[in-house]
Structure 1
Amino acid sequence: MYLLLVTNHELLRNFAAEAEVSDGHERVQRDLDRKHYKDIVGYITENPADYLLGAMTYAIDTVDASDFIAAGPGSNIGTLVLPTSARMRCLDGQHRRAAIAEAVSLDESVGDDYSAVVLYVEDDYMKRRQMFSDMNATPKVVSKALNITFDSRDPYAKAAQHLADQHPLLAGVVETRKARITTTDAKIFSLAGVYDGLKRFDLGMVLPRGRSPKNKTIDELIEIGTTLFDTIQAAFPEFQEAKDKLEATDDVKEQADLMRQARRSTILFSTTTLRVVSGALHEAMKVDDENDPAKYIGRLAKIDFAPTSKLFASPDVGFVTGSGTPSARNQEVFAATKALTEAIRIR
């Protein structure tokens, strides 16, 4: 195995972009996903001074000992001469490689940046296939909440972080690390839910693909988010009641029992429901040509959010399952958002 540091120009000249051989017989990679690599292009070109890409991994069928020229006697640092007859296959990083190629075409200076390449010497394509499988068998996906917690580029993420820390409805009850909230969790929302709620209230229930738009400042988004959560806080006193009860005890078991009972009585204590409410407010205001979300407080307060709610449990919506748990699938979330939009519209 060799760890190489090459300029992006050298990467493009010497390391193939194609996933694998065309007939698929010896393929050891997935097909190239155009949207995925386009997202990476945007990331590189928007952050040319400090973008960060992980090492790309290739397998090469042959490298002789003489092809490595050590920097000094016994050194494992030096120069690797790649044989012109060698067959090289991409095991991991084809989307990064394709994105770099397009980024260089848009900004020539990106070609002078350096990228890391891990190169395995392996001539057996079945073993190369196993390498690909092994590398993709164990990675753990980082939770969306944690990604948002650490994100300092996305203005929606920064605004969500501020709201989670400062807004009276959210302070102390937002989960910023875990991927999901359990029935007995003392947290009411996840940071991912606050983030999605803010985006849906601002942009609508159908969010644009790719990275968040940056046409609003963080302060503007904080103001928009404050309006959203002020409205929710006024419409649903259940949240403040739950917060008061949680703050009244330090006993973990009591807190778990409190939240279990709360979630059995209403689907409001669900991050998915927050997405639906936020999106419905946006859609209703848009259709009604209304700028004041406070006019929907009374209408929201009258909606039945019980697990048996006919509005959300009806067959054509299917947002609440037999277990009384809101469905997070996109089609059910969209259907629930549309149903709630119609229910709270000003007629």
Structure 2
Amino acid sequence: MDDQGYFHSFPAVQGFQGKRPFFIAMCPLRMIPKLFMFDEEEVPAELRAQRSLNKNRIPAIAQYLVANPETYILSALTASVDGQVRFAPLDAGRNLSIGVLEIPMDARILINDGQHRRAAIEEALKESPALGQDNVPVLFFGDDGLLRSQQMFADLNKYAVRPSYSLSTLYDHRDPSSELARYLASECRAFRGLTEMEKSTISNRSVKLFTLSSIKHASRALLRKHPRDEFSSTDRMVAKEYWDEVSDQIPDWQRARTKDVATAELRQEYVHAHGVALQALAYAGAELLSRRPKQWKTDLRYLRKIDWSRSNIGIWEGRAMVHGRISKAATNVHLAANYVKSVLGLPLSPEDLELEALLPAKKRLTSKR
């Protein structure tokens, strides 16, 4: 910062997009809250150049920065400068793209993309001031007015696609439940070779039967863990043993593993080939492990009594299916779990019975086998 020149100075690289110059600069985190503005006034969306700030997102990002001071990653912020910037190349004779960007101190700098990261940085610095020495890349564009800023926001977000939950699970090495899911997918005979690792939905032609994300959700429910809870070696062993035992009681899963039946056929004909069944088996399994820690393996043999056919509408319609279509809604998952619990001879909780009341009287379950 140059007080005499009344401007902020940043080492930067100059480039061009659409015949307009832009600059990539390194900015210390400690300067982010003071330097970059975000228009948070309560004005109509058509008069803003950004979405409204969702304050619920900020604590998670801030905690991520604080908890991972040596390994965090922050993508570049994008900002518009309402003022005349100057760019001084370091070597005017040979290299015109590397130099120093000078921004007047009275210029208005508005974030076009990254307002949640900006707010999270501000919160993280309160708890961990040492982060202020780090840097974040910033793309600076000239501010050509509201319409241009709105178009920038639209262009920046038009083609942004969030990775699938399975792919995020595959690549997330900080999340204990993601680590557990990867372990089960590779070591558990129920899932080995049958897990879709990248997509969170399975196409009709896929030879896979489960998604990595469904294994993650189901196994966390089985062990009654919250997001980011740690898993002990015992937890891992119990989860693997449970899913292996379940696989032994569902012959179609074994046939899929040996390729004696097409997984597409199983998805078309059976409930057990869908995530709703995996989740239901997890909820029922959590209760079974809690109530019968010494005999749960023996009791799982009752799963062979279940007719998993989608044509068995007397059982599955209203539970795992709605109007003949598989439903992953939370209510349907729990209603399907209620049926599995009843087959295993487990009592239904008051909450379970409240859900049963949503079904026609002839379909409701009691608490006895």
TM-score above 0.5, yes or no: yes
Task: Specify whether residues 193 and 223 from structure 1 end up closer, same or farther in structure 2 by C-alpha distance, changes over 3 A only.
Answer: same
Q: Is the 8 A contact 1:4 1:116 kept in 2?
A: yes
Alignment gaps of 5+ in structure 1 = 247-254
CA distance in 1, matches of 2:132, 2:236: 38
Task: Specify whether residues 38 and 268 from structure 1 end up closer, same or farther in structure 2 by C-alpha distance, changes over 3 A only.
Answer: same
Aligned residue type for 1:23: V
Q: Give the drift of 1:158.
A: 1.5
Equivalent residue for 1:133, pick from 154, 160, 168 = 154
CA distance in 1, matches of 2:161, 2:276: 23
Task: Specify whether residues 130 and 194 from structure 1 end up closer, same or farther in structure 2 by C-alpha distance, changes over 3 A only.
Answer: same
> 119-128 or 81-90, which moves further after superposition?
81-90
Task: Specify whether residues 147 and 265 from structure 1 end up closer, same or farther in structure 2 by C-alpha distance, changes over 3 A only.
Answer: same
Partner of 2:230: 215
Pairing 1:77–2:90 present:
no
Equivalent residue for 2:68, pick from 17, 35, 47 = 47
Equivalent residue for 2:138, pick from 106, 111, 117 = 117
Q: Is the 8 A contact 2:27 2:135 kept in 1?
A: yes
Task: Specify whether residues 19 and 280 from structure 1 end up closer, same or farther in structure 2 by C-alpha distance, changes over 3 A only.
Answer: farther
Pairing 1:260–2:264 present:
yes
Of structures 1 and 2, the larger Rg is shown by: 2
CA distance in 2, matches of 1:32, 1:331: 31
Task: Specify whether residues 185 and 129 from structure 1 end up closer, same or farther in structure 2 by C-alpha distance, changes over 3 A only.
Answer: same
CA distance in 2, matches of 1:50, 1:199: 26
Pairing 1:232–2:252 present:
no
Task: Specify whether residues 245 and 23 from structure 1 end up closer, same or farther in structure 2 by C-alpha distance, changes over 3 A only.
Answer: closer
Partner of 1:186: 207
Q: Is the 8 A contact 1:19 1:32 kept in 2?
A: no
Partner of 1:250: none
Which structure is higher in RCO with an 8 Å CA cutoff and minimum separation 6?
1
CA distance in 1, matches of 2:47, 2:140: 18
CA distance in 2, matches of 1:99, 1:7: 14
Aligned residue type for 1:236: I
Spell out, residue by residue over 1:43-97, the C-alpha distance to the aligned partner (whole angstroms, 9 max, x if none): 1122111100111111222224xx2233231532222222233222221111111
Q: Give the drift of 1:320.
A: 0.9
Q: Give the drift of 1:7.
A: 0.8
Pairing 1:303–2:303 present:
no
Q: Is the 8 A contact 1:159 1:221 kept in 2?
A: no
Spell out, residue by residue over 1:14-70, the C-alpha distance to the aligned partner (whole angstroms, 9 max, x if none): 112x35444245312122222322111221122111100111111222224xx2233
CA distance in 2, matches of 1:341, 1:4: 59
After the TM superposition, which residues 1-347 of structure 1 pair with which residues of structure 2 at under 5 Å, given as runs?
Answer: 1-16=22-37, 18-24=38-44, 26-64=47-85, 67-73=86-92, 74-203=95-224, 208=226, 212-217=227-232, 219-246=233-260, 258-283=262-287, 285-286=289-290, 289-292=291-294, 293-307=296-310, 308-314=312-318, 317=319, 319-322=320-323, 324-346=324-346, 347=368
Q: Is the 8 A contact 2:248 2:254 kept in 1?
A: no
CA distance in 2, matches of 1:298, 1:4: 63
Number of residue pairs aligned between Structure 1 and Structure 2: 321
Task: Specify whether residues 337 and 41 from structure 1 end up closer, same or farther in structure 2 by C-alpha distance, changes over 3 A only.
Answer: farther
Q: Give the drift of 1:119.
A: 1.5
CA distance in 2, matches of 1:81, 1:121: 13
3-state DSSP of counterpart to 1:58:
strand
CA distance in 2, matches of 1:70, 1:20: 35
Alignment gaps of 5+ in structure 2 = 1-21, 347-367
Q: Is the 8 A contact 1:312 1:336 kept in 2?
A: yes
CA distance in 1, matches of 2:341, 2:134: 49
Higher strand share: 2
RMSD of equivalent CA atoms: 2.3
CA distance in 1, matches of 2:314, 2:59: 42
Report % sequence identity.
23
Q: Give the drift of 1:336.
A: 3.1
